[in-house]
């Protein structure tokens, strides 16, 4: 039994979430940060123990990545997620975001088009543009679901976008941030069929893959079909689910030897090819048998915070529609009925209620906010009550 109720003082520790400067002046000593996607929980004890053993060695020279690093990852994904990756498919790197940039650089030419599905993680937009490519948006469609809604893929439009001769790559988010979808096997299979028909390469960010709510099941893109597995590039890391983003370790996985060689060159050109000894130790500990129980308890705890959100919002601000959360700890809230830009909502909550959320515009859909639930329940409830009070205030303005 792990103690996710424990409140760890992060303010003053040099962390982005609690110590970064907000977009407007605010009383940061009293702000509850529910924005950037990292968790306020301690890393799992078995990860801290592995790190301590490595620290006790006392020497931190250039890192050789051992075979046990690859074996831990391969065994984890085969056992927990039913997909088989092979040792020679791997390229290690410092993080998923630099990996995405390197892969786009490797598989496109300036002027090519890269498909994404908005609303989506903001770094997708910058990674495409920074490599001289053009964004081709296949917006997710809203599907009513009770008092809220969920998102689905507009496959007719997706086929249209893939048929564009300039479209070379589709950047998938699985599970999807911030839409909260854990894509079903059939959806992933259909994506693969359409993409292959038009010779579009699918590259899939699966960093949130362990963060799945009860009743849902993460399917790796490559597990949906053998053809998907052979014709894709996968990004994975324990950083998001085990709260070790600061340790900077991730993997790029692809079965295609030509793509792998091109990606390896791009990773080296970007100078993101070296990982550190602490991150290597942490990954192997995370992808151990102990990781299963910790993750299962974590997901149950986050689901409890999600239930608190639904309870408070239904009672206090029913006009704020909650997009169904299937995966991640980042619920997506529709505030369009307020008639305000999402940055206005973010700034108003910061200055008045002293709670920091993410504005939806950065993900390509204005009028929404994204909330981070990965914090002890006591802090989460207080933060959600502040958000509800602020949105209620704005609804009366």
**Residue 117: its pLDDT value, please?**
99
Mean pLDDT score, 280-299: 98
Give me the chain's average pLDDT, please.
98
> Residues with Cβ < 8 Å from 235, sequence gap 6 or more?
96, 99, 100, 103, 203, 204, 205, 206, 207, 250, 251, 252, 253
| Residues paired with 148 in a beta bridge | 145
CA–CA separation, 175 and 241 (whole Å) = 12
Which residues constitute the domain of residue 219? 59-289
Torsion region of 190: left, alpha or beta (phi above 0 gives left; psi -120 to 50 gives alpha): alpha
Residues 354-368 pLDDT 10s: 999 999 999 999 999
259, 289, 319: which is the final residue of a domain? 289
Q: Does any domain span residue 353?
A: yes
Instruction: Give yes or no for residue 146 having a pLDDT over 90.
Output: no
Residues 169-219 pLDDT 10s: 999 999 999 999 999 999 999 999 999 999 999 999 999 999 999 999 999
| Residues paired with 151 in a beta bridge | 142
Mean pLDDT score, 265-291: 93
Provide the domain count of the chain: 2
Note whether 210 and 262 are same-domain residues.
yes
| Residues paired with 356 in a beta bridge | 33
Identify the CATH number of the domain in which residue 311 sits.
3.90.1150.10
CB-based contact 136:113 (threshold 8 Å): yes
**Residue 30: its pLDDT value, please?**
97
Q: Does any domain span residue 85?
A: yes
Cut 0.85: pTM above it: yes
Q: Does any domain span residue 4?
A: no
**Residue 270: its pLDDT value, please?**
76
Residues 27-68 pLDDT 10s: 999 999 999 999 999 999 999 999 999 999 999 999 999 999
**Residue 79: its pLDDT value, please?**
98
Neighbours of 254 (CB within 10 A): 25
Structure tokens at 185: 């096997």
Which of the four pLDDT bands, split at 50, 70 and 90, describes residue 395? very high
Residues 320-375 pLDDT 10s: 999 999 999 999 999 999 999 999 999 999 999 999 999 999 999 999 999 999 99
Instruction: Give yes or no for residue 1 having a pLDDT over 90.
Output: no
Three-class HEC string of the chain:
CCCCCCCCCCCCCCCHHHHCCCCCCCCHHHCEECCCCCCCCCCCHHHHHHHHHHHHHCCCCCCCCCHHHHHHHHHHHHHHHCCCCCHHHEEEECCHHHHHHHHHHHHCCCCCEEEECCCCCHHHHHHHHHCCCEEEECCCEEEEECCEEEEECCHHHHHHHHCCCCEEEEEEECCCCCCCCCCCHHHHHHHHHHHHHCCCEEEEECCCCCCECCCCCCCCHHHCCHHHHHCEEEEECCCCCCCCHHHCCEEEEECCHHHHHHHHHHHHHCCCCCCCHHHHHHHHHHCCHHHHHHHHHHHHHHHHHHHHHHHHHHHHCCCCEEECCCECCCCEEECHHHCCCHHHHHHHHHHHHCEECEEHHHHCCCCEEECCCCCCHHHHHHHHHHHHHHHHHHHCC
- Please compute, for residue 130, the number of CA atoms within 13 A of its CA located in the half-sphere on the CB side: 16
Mean pLDDT score, 129-139: 99
Mean pLDDT score, 132-158: 96
**Residue 271: its pLDDT value, please?**
77
Q: Does any domain span residue 275?
A: yes
Q: Does any domain span residue 53?
A: no
Q: Does any domain span residue 11?
A: no
CA–CA separation, 324 and 285 (whole Å) = 32
**Residue 272: its pLDDT value, please?**
73
CA–CA separation, 159 and 164 (whole Å) = 9
242, 273, 289: which is the final residue of a domain? 289
Note whether 335 and 376 are same-domain residues.
yes
Note whether 125 and 76 are same-domain residues.
yes
**Residue 148: its pLDDT value, please?**
83
Neighbours of 271 (CB within 10 A): 10
Mean pLDDT score, 59-81: 98
Note whether 318 and 257 are same-domain residues.
no
Note whether 295 and 277 are same-domain residues.
no
Q: Does any domain span residue 230?
A: yes
Mean pLDDT score, 156-163: 99
- Please compute, for residue 177, the number of CA atoms within 13 A of its CA located in the half-sphere on the CB side: 23
CB-based contact 291:242 (threshold 8 Å): yes
Note whether 189 and 309 are same-domain residues.
no
Q: Does any domain span residue 8?
A: no
Mean pLDDT score, 280-308: 98
Note whether 118 and 251 are same-domain residues.
yes
Nearest to 346 by CA among 373, 374, 368, 326: 368
Residues 219-258 pLDDT 10s: 999 999 999 999 999 999 999 999 999 999 999 999 999 9
Q: What are the phi and psi torsion angles at 376 (to 5°)?
A: -50, 145
Note whether 91 and 239 are same-domain residues.
yes
Which of the four pLDDT bands, split at 50, 70 and 90, describes residue 273? confident
Note whether 65 and 35 are same-domain residues.
no
Note whether 110 and 205 are same-domain residues.
yes
Alpha-carbon distances of 324 from 62, 64, 120, 334, rounded to whole Å: 45, 43, 15, 11
Note whether 206 and 328 are same-domain residues.
no
Note whether 256 and 175 are same-domain residues.
yes
**Residue 297: its pLDDT value, please?**
98
Q: ∠76-80-81 over CA atoms, to 5°?
A: 105
Alpha-carbon distances of 383 from 11, 18, 355, 371, rounded to whole Å: 16, 14, 6, 10
**Residue 299: its pLDDT value, please?**
99
147 vs 204, which has greater pLDDT? 204
Identify the CATH number of the domain in which residue 94 sits.
3.40.640.10
Mean pLDDT score, 290-298: 98
CA–CA separation, 17 and 39 (whole Å) = 9
289, 322, 356: which is the final residue of a domain? 289
């Amino acid at each position: 039994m792990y103690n996710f109720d424990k409140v760890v003082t992060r303010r003053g520790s040099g962390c982005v979430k609690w110590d970064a400067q907000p977009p407007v002046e605010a009383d940061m000593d009293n702000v509850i940060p529910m924005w950037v996607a990292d968790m306020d929980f301690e890393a799992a004890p078995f990860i801290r123990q592995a790190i301590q053993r490595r620290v006790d060695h006392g020497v931190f020279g250039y890192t050789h990545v051992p075979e046990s690093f690859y074996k831990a990852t391969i065994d984890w994904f085969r056992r927990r997620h039913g997909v088989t990756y092979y040792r020679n498919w791997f390229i290690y790197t410092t993080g998923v975001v630099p990996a995405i940039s390197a892969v786009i650089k490797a598989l496109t030419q300036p002027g090519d088009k890269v498909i994404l599905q908005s609303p989506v993680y903001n770094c997708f937009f910058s990674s495409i543009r920074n490599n001289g490519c053009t964004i081709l948006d296949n917006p997710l469609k809203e599907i009513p679901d009770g008092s809220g809604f969920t998102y689905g893929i507009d496959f007719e439009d997706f086929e249209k976008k893939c048929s564009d001769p300039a479209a070379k790559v589709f950047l998938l988010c699985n599970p999807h941030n911030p839409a909260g979808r854990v894509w079903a096997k059939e959806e992933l299979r259909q994506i693969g069929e359409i993409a292959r028909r038009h010779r579009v390469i699918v590259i899939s960010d699966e960093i949130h893959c362990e963060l799945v709510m009860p009743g849902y099941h993460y399917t790796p893109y490559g597990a949906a079909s053998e053809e998907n597995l052979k014709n894709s590039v996968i990004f994975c890391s324990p950083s998001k689910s085990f709260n070790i983003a600061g340790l900077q370790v991730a993997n790029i996985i692809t079965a295609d030897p030509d793509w792998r060689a091109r990606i390896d060159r791009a990773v080296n050109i970007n100078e993101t090819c070296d990982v550190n000894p602490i991150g290597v130790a942490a990954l192997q500990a995370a992808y151990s048998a102990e990781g299963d129980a910790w993750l299962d308890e974590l997901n149950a705890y986050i689901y409890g915070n999600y239930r608190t959100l639904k309870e408070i919002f239904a009672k206090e601000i029913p006009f704020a529609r909650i997009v169904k959360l299937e995966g991640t700890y980042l619920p997506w809230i529709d505030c369009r009925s307020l008639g305000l830009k999402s940055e206005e909502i973010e700034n108003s909550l910061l200055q008045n209620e002293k709670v920091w959320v993410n504005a939806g515009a950065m993900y390509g859909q204005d009028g929404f906010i994204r909330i981070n639930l990965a914090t002890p329940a006591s802090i989460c409830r207080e933060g959600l009550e502040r958000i509800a009070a602020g949105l209620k205030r704005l609804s009366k303005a």
